[in-house]
Structure 1
Amino acid sequence: MSMSREKQQGRREFLKTSAAAAAVTIAPGVMLHTLSADAAPRTEPVTDKVRWGMLIDANKCADGCTECVAACDKENGLDLVDMPEGADPSLWERQRPRWIRQVKLKDNLSGRITNLPMMCQHCEEPPCVDVCPTGASFRRADGIVMVDRHICIGCRYCMMACPYKARSFIHAEVAEKPTHTPRGKGCVESCNFCVQRLDNGESTTACQEACKHQAIVFGDLNDPDSAVSQALKKYPSVQIRADLKLNTGVRYSNI
């Protein structure tokens, strides 16, 4: 006997809700993260019509808040890495892989201290790309700077070239990882603006969603009507190391 219309509708809604949050183990150490019900994989090539970018208001970054870091770690599987046995906890916390670092800036004249998150700045002219001997470091047409782990040889030239210390090197085997972030020993990694979300029809980053203080605005810098473009028009902003003329995709206000 077939299910009633009400039961069928209820079952469909249950499956949609479950799919939005599901994380299924498909092999030891590999977690399959399904897309939300409304997300759709990209069907067209990336173009320069869009340039993804971010504005961070340092005034809203509360001292001691690590919500954006925790969200980034969870989104990309960095929270699945355990501290090596016998390691010093304080040293491990300083040296563990991080795609976002919490940085304190002090104005030498006023003594004012500013807290801000520091990640890959997604430069228009990225030094990491210039020095990479294999092409593993590359910049997409939409402005996202990434690492192709299949051809990264672990030379770490990009880490030395990055003026923001935004990249990490994976020294040990990675026992657990999500399918959308295939991390591995001997590779360099860094913030990629949650590209797995953007390429599947979403428009936010994990750090932006997690920020309780609304310090992070993310969107299309090429769209004058986007939230990030409107915020950049409204508030004065700066680039970190503007003297390098890298035209970064991440800007900061109130620093």
Structure 2
Amino acid sequence: MNKQPKVITGRREFIGKSAAATGGAIAIASGVTLFQVGQASARPADESVSNKVRWGMLVDSNKCADGCNDCVTACETENAWGSGSSDEQQSGASQKAQWIRTVTLKNNLTGSEHQLPMMCQHCEEPPCVDVCPTGASFKRADGIVLVDKHICIGCRYCMMACPYKARSFIHEELTNQNPDVPRGKGTVESCTMCVHKIDRGDGNTACAEACSKAGHNAIIFGDLNDPESNLSKELKQQASTQIRADLNLNTGVRYRGI
């Protein structure tokens, strides 16, 4: 009796076998190629993410120093998308990734200005997930909003849906990537809340670490569901707000001083 061929039922298994057969390169759509750049040190596939935790941040704009860009630089370095990376060298300013950027808010009545970092707000009800036709944009049980590069077709609906302009499209071939943060031409990307660091137990994001190291302490990362976390205590102690709270997205990033 002839043996029946083994059917690959899982996308992860298919991708792994395809990568082995092609030397690590996977063509997932016309003009879209992902490369296996190493084994990421994220949470093991058989270890589920719990909704007991909801990761979030508090940004105190009163503590953001004028002209400071430490959080952006740290994110660029940690995730290999900014200064010195291949995409910045090859792309124009309009195509540069924007995982995090600094913006200035001005009150036209009083003239007061506040500088603050803007990134994916990791909404509880993310519009990017609602409009994604393939399910590439998704929210983990712990509140982190991500993009699955293996099924992203680059339609950019999520970029149009995001009210925070927090997502970018990769136009160019990429080299010298961080093995923990795989990226791919023809796909959309945004702040991952340093998910690779969180899953391996670092307990903080690159932007918050850099802000603390600089002595500003304007960014606090933590568990919104844990009343004993520093983040929850700070939120309880003083008022904070959500950017575009009128959209009722229940963002994971909160701001103070705006």
Is the TM-score greater than 0.5? yes
**Given the superposition, is the C-alpha separation of residues 131 and 229 from structure 1 closer, same or farther in structure 2, using an over 3 Å criterion?**
same
**Given the superposition, is the C-alpha separation of residues 239 and 224 from structure 1 closer, same or farther in structure 2, using an over 3 Å criterion?**
same
- Equivalent in the alignment of 2:217: 214
- Please state if 1:169 is matched with 2:172: no
Cα distance, 1:77 vs. partner?
Answer: 0.8
In structure 2, how many angstroms separate the alpha carbons of the residues matched to 1:189 and 1:178?
A: 14
In structure 1, how many angstroms separate the alpha carbons of the residues matched to 2:200 and 2:181?
A: 14
- Equivalent in the alignment of 1:107: 107
Matches within 5 A, 1:194-233: 194-211=194-211, 212=214, 213-233=216-236
In structure 1, how many angstroms separate the alpha carbons of the residues matched to 2:134 and 2:43?
A: 28
Q: Is contact 2:60-2:257 (8 Å) kept?
A: yes
Amino acid paired to 2:105: L
Task: Report the TM-score, using the length of structure 2 for normalisation.
Answer: 0.80
> Structure 1 stretches (4+) deviating beyond 2 angstroms?
29-35, 40-44, 81-85
Q: Specify every segment of 5 or more residues in structure 1 that has no aligned partner in the other structure, as ranges.
A: 1-26
- Equivalent in the alignment of 2:30: none
Aligned Cα root-mean-square deviation (Å): 2.1
**Given the superposition, is the C-alpha separation of residues 130 and 31 from structure 1 closer, same or farther in structure 2, using an over 3 Å criterion?**
closer
After superposition, the C-alpha distances for 1:114-144 in whole angstroms (9 at most, x for unaligned) are 0000000000000000000000000000000
* Matched position secondary structure for 1:114: strand
Q: Is contact 2:87-2:96 (8 Å) kept?
A: no
- Please state if 1:190 is matched with 2:195: no
Cα distance, 1:63 vs. partner?
Answer: 1.3
User: Which of the residues 62, 71, 74 maps onto 2:74?
Assistant: 71
- Equivalent in the alignment of 1:52: 55
- Equivalent in the alignment of 1:123: 123
Cα distance, 1:234 vs. partner?
Answer: 1.0
- Equivalent in the alignment of 2:239: 236
Task: Report the TM-score, using the length of structure 1 for normalisation.
Answer: 0.81
- Please state if 1:140 is matched with 2:140: yes
In structure 2, how many angstroms separate the alpha carbons of the residues matched to 1:136 and 1:33?
A: 21
**Given the superposition, is the C-alpha separation of residues 83 and 217 from structure 1 closer, same or farther in structure 2, using an over 3 Å criterion?**
closer
Name the % identity.
Answer: 63
Q: Is contact 1:136-1:147 (8 Å) kept?
A: yes
- Equivalent in the alignment of 2:18: none
* Matched position secondary structure for 2:164: coil
Cα distance, 1:41 vs. partner?
Answer: 4.9
Amino acid paired to 2:66: D
Q: Specify every segment of 5 or more residues in structure 2 that has no aligned partner in the other structure, as ranges.
A: 1-23, 25-34
In structure 1, how many angstroms separate the alpha carbons of the residues matched to 2:79 and 2:108?
A: 36
Amino acid paired to 2:185: K
**Given the superposition, is the C-alpha separation of residues 205 and 154 from structure 1 closer, same or farther in structure 2, using an over 3 Å criterion?**
same
* Matched position secondary structure for 2:98: coil
